[in-house]
Structure 1
Amino acid sequence: MAKDPNSVLPPDHPMYSDAVEAMKRYHQAQIEGITGAALERLRLLAEHQFQAVTDYQLRALGGPGKPNH
């Protein structure tokens, strides 16, 4: 896959800010003492959003990325 600089996400793209906000919600829940399934759900959401950004950027830069399903 060829590198396409026009498809690379800028740092202020909503995908990034959504991922950061998800991570903040997870960390805030930890601080508030939330445990169990509720905390795990927040962790998984944050992890998934960061992975989506990473995969997109890898594909945009010509790297392998994960296959689209």
Structure 2
Amino acid sequence: MKRTIQGMTAAGEPLILEALEALRLYSEAKTSGCPQEEIDRLQILAESLVHAVTDYQLLAVGADSIKHH
């Protein structure tokens, strides 16, 4: 795969889509009157997935500043 923005996006697309879906669910939960525990759970999930997307993109471009856990 080419190391281009398009190539990196294509490789990470399933993760990006999962993060977007999590953000959508979190947003809907906030506006639909879901219990606070569910809203908090969806927020943590969405934030975690967005963080994973960011880490993936940084790794894909060869950023060395990421700490691997």
1:38 maps to 38
How high is the TM-score relative to the length of structure 1? 0.78
Q: How far 1:66 moved relative to its partner?
A: 2.9
Q: Which has the higher contact order (CA 8 A, sep 6+)?
A: 1
Distance in 2 of aligned mates of 1:66 and 1:44: 21
Structure 2 residues without counterparts, runs of 5 or longer: none
Q: Which has the higher helix share?
A: 2
Distance in 2 of aligned mates of 1:68 and 1:59: 10
Of all paired residues, the percent bearing the same amino acid is: 33
Residue pair 1:22, 1:42 contacting (<8 A) in 2 also: yes
Q: RMSD of the TM alignment (CA)?
A: 2.4
Q: How far 1:65 moved relative to its partner?
A: 5.0
Residue pair 1:56, 1:65 contacting (<8 A) in 2 also: no
The alignment of Structure 1 onto Structure 2 pairs a total of residues equal to 66
Q: 1:67 aligns to what SS in structure 2?
A: coil
